[in-house]
Amino acid sequence: MPLTNEERNYLKLLGGNIVKKRKERGIKQKELSDLLDIDDGSLRRIESGRTNPTTMSLYNIASALEIELKDLFDFENDLN
């Protein structure tokens, strides 16, 4: 089933927040993809909101960034 506009927007906000958290820690995209043991194209799709990451992918991203999983979702105010 295709995603709704609201769901696509949510994934873009999530991806943008991952980029923000990664940059705050001074980690390049390639470095993070290496830490996660995924190809950089997969990480690019997550960060751009073009794919719906699994719970384990998000958990691994948060762990690699040394933040809590919930911190990836602290863009809730941007939804309004």
Domains assigned to the chain = 5-67 (1.10.260.40)
pLDDT in tens, the chain (80 residues): 899 999 999 999 999 999 999 999 999 999 999 999 999 999 999 999 999 999 999 999 999 999 999 999 998 666 55
Buried b / exposed e along 33-44 (16+ C-beta atoms within 10 A): beebeeebeebe
**pTM score:** 0.91
Contact of 19 with 45, CB cutoff 8 Å: no
Angle at 29 between CA 75 and CA 35, to 5 degrees: 100
pLDDT of 57 reads 97
pLDDT of 78 reads 61
pLDDT of 4 reads 96
